[in-house]
Structure formats: C-alpha cells, structure tokens
Amino acid sequence: MKTMSLLSVVSEQKPRQIAVRVLTERLSQEEYTENLLEIELSRARLSAPDRGLCQELVYGIVRWQETLNWLIDRKTEGRRQKPEMQVLLQLGLYQMFWLDRIPNHAAVHETVEIAKELGFVAQSGFVNAVLRGYLRERVETEKLLEEVKIAQPQIGYSHPEWVYQRWLERYGAEHTAKLMEWNNTPARTYARINTLKADAAKVTAQWETEGVKFIPRQYDWIEDGLIFELESHPPLAGLKSFKDGFFYIQDPSTLLSVRELDVKAAHSVLDLCAAPGGKTTMIAQQMQNRGQIVAQDISDDRLALLRENYVRLGVTCVVASIAPNAVIANPAQRFDRVLIDAPCSNTGVMRRRVDLRWRIQPEEVERLRETQLELLRRAAPRLKPNGIMVYSTCSLEPEENSQVVQQFLSENPDFELKSERQLTPFGNDVDGAYTAKLIRVRRQ
C-alpha cells in the first residue's frame, strides 16, 4: 500500500493545510486539481520536502478517494459528512495507511489540530474518534484493504464502477487490476533527446553536472539513445540543458504515431491538434528541420504553447495556424503526411491526470467519437495519393480507436489500413496509446 517514503517527518502543518484547501476547493470548482495546487504552491514558500508532501497528499487523496470514502463510511454508518470534514478524514487516513515515515499518532494529532484551526472545534472529537478507531485496528484494516481489492476491485483500487466494468470485460480481472494499480502510482518523467541541438552523449554529460539522475530506456518503436527516464532532478525549467532545448519531456508512448508517420526530409506534413508540440517537434527532428510542417490547433493559447516549445527546441520548419478553419481555407493544398492526434477520453493517461477518472462519463466516449470521425473526414482530402495518414489517441477505448478507423474506412474506399497498434500500461510499461496507419491508395 505504501506509495511514498518521506526523507523525514514534516512537523510543520502548512503543507497539510494547503492540501486541505486545495482538496476542498476542487469539490466546488470546475478547475483541475493540478491547476488549483499549482496556484496555491506559487503563493506559499515551502521547502522542497514540504512541497513534495503537499503534492503527495493532494494527488494521493484524489486518486484513492473511493477507497478512503469506503473506510470513512465503515466508521460513520454511511452518514454523509460535510465536504471539509470528509477531506479532513481522508487526510488523516491517507497518512496512516498510504505514507511511510509519518507516525500514526502524528497523523491523527495534526489532522485534529487542523480541524480546530478550520473552525471545527466541536467536531474535532469526532475526527479524533474515527482516526483513533482505525489506529487501534491498523493491522486488521491493512488486511481488509488488500481483501477488498479482490472482493470489490473498483473500491479497492479506487476507480468508478463503469470504468472498472468496461475494462474487466475487455482485459479480464488480472490485467484490469494491473491497469488500475498503474493509475494509482505517480507518473514517471521521461526526456526525449532533441538531436537538432545535441546528441545523447552531450545531454547526459550535462545532466550529470546539473544533478539529474537518469536511466536510458528502450522500446521497439523508438531508436536507441533517444529516451531517458529521469529518476530525480532539480526543477527542470531552471536547467541550462532545458533552456537550451536539448530535450523535451515526453512519454515514450507518444512517439509511436510519429514512427508510423514515416516522414522524410523535405516532406510536407499536416499536424492536426498539434499543441503542446511533442509530436510536432519530433517530426521536425526526423525531417532534419527540412520541409514544412503545418501545425494546427483550436486556440491562440494552445498555439502559443506550441510555439514556445518549438522555438526552444530550435525547430524552424513549422507554420502554426488555428484549426479547423485553416483546414477549410486552403483545400487545394495537399500533404505527403497527415497526423491526427485526436482529442479523446484520455483513459490511457489516467495516472497523469488525477481528476480524470472522476470527471469522465460513459457518454463522453460516444460524443468524442463523432469529433474524431469529423477530424478524419476533414483531413482525408488534404492527403496526396500514396501518402500516409496516422490517426492516434491516448485512449484505451475501442470506440475511439479501431471502431473510428473502421467507420472511416467504410466511408472512404480510397484509404487502406496499413497497420494499427494499441499500447497498454500492463503490456508495454508506458501510457496507453493507439495508432492507426492509413494509406491513400488512389485518387478520388
């Protein structure tokens, strides 16, 4: 059950107070937890250990909220608590059962004191009673938490029932459990070497001087020496190697679609839904910064992020524009390659987006399917004969992946499916991703 080992017990209550504030605010706001936390942390001057503790508390409690609420219900006979009280109980229980190096008595005491500071003096005894009840039953509760993973996996691994059932039908119990466990662990950080500016030897030598600890990683869809897992590092934005554009933070799964695009120097490429630019800049890297990439997205803000990244990385062959109007505005232009990195349910990247499992609804998958099909339909006429169009998502759902591609092919007989592949966390040890490679075989 342990997810983090703290270097030392943080006695200052401020990180916990910030965590309670963020967790309470997320219940009444549409803003993502990550954004709320970043705002709060930017206002507070916390030490690195305090900042790490605050982030672990917030993200961990959001991930495990179903299991935490189940524990609370057992001691309160299912009575609904006020949001602030529920968060306080979650805070105490998470520290007791999910964190190392936080003494149980400290977790209980500090949670009770925070309750008093927030004005819940009368209820502080109730908080104390619930937490101390579990403190007396710690061994039995730890066993119970393991048993519920088998008896009620959606509670034991803290996922919505509909998500669990959907994956269970497709993957079976063992793989579904592994997938949910993956989603409950902190995401790893990967760096892709930018060969437009440096090679792996140069970058890793500089990382060693900057205090970055790294491990090279190999995948069958990525050339060796391109991807490194960053085990630990100072803040990346402050590193000279980052500012100089020597690398880009990118999960290995996102590079499968670029490999399938099979770009060559001097090709013309249409890159739809291009922001923040990981795939765009990798395409430019493979093209040796030659040819032209027309990179499109839906807003000026997203295009600004795209530009920021390709400028830092030294990419000069990109022309950025707003979509979809730009697609319609110049229908005569044809491209050698088209990449559609479609908006999707993101079920393959749930561990990177802590709120996602609680926000997404079953009907969202069908709604997104129509958007995805429309992107394929709009992009298809822009591809040259014998050109390659790659459709990709970070979804695990066939309704957004193979079924979308099959419907598109049924409507467009001049396209053929060359290959398709689904990456999964339990099968490939990376985020979930789907890629389909389509060939335009004749003129319309």
Name the binding residues. Answer: 273-279, 297, 341
Identify the helix (H) or strand (E) that includes residue 143.
helix 138-151
Write out the binding residues for S-adenosyl-L-methionine. Answer: 273-279, 297, 341
- Number of neighbouring beta carbons within 10 Å of residue 365: 18
Torsion 88-89-90-96 (CA) sign = positive
Which sign does the torsion angle of CA 260, 343, 25, 130 carry? negative
Pick the closest to residue 167 from 349, 175, 366 (CA basis). 175
CA quadruple 315, 302, 405, 160: dihedral sign:
positive
Structural element, H or E, at residue 231:
strand 222-232
* Residue 229, number of CB atoms within 10 A of its CB: 14
Nearest Cα neighbor of 193 from 165, 212, 174, 175 is 212
* 394 assigned to active site: yes
CA angle 321, 324, 326 (to 5 degrees): 45
Task: Judge contact between 439 and 388, C-beta under 8 A.
Answer: yes
Collect contacts of 311-316 with beta carbons under 8 A, ≥24 apart.
Answer: 312/243, 312/245, 313/194, 313/196, 313/197, 313/245, 313/248, 313/281, 313/284, 314/194, 314/196, 314/197, 314/245, 314/289, 315/196, 315/280, 315/281, 315/284, 315/285, 315/289, 316/289
Tokens matching residue 24 = 């309470």
Catalytic residue among 54, 317, 344, 394: 394
First-to-last CA distance in the chain? 58
| Spatial contact of 332 and 307, defined as CB atoms under 8 Å apart | no
Return d(Cα 128, Cα 89) in angstroms, integer: 9
Per DSSP, 347 falls in state: G
Structure tokens at 93: 């229980």
Cis peptide bond prior to 235, omega within 30° of 0 = no
Whole-angstrom distance, CA of residue 85 vs CA of residue 237: 37
> Which residues are tagged catalytic?
394
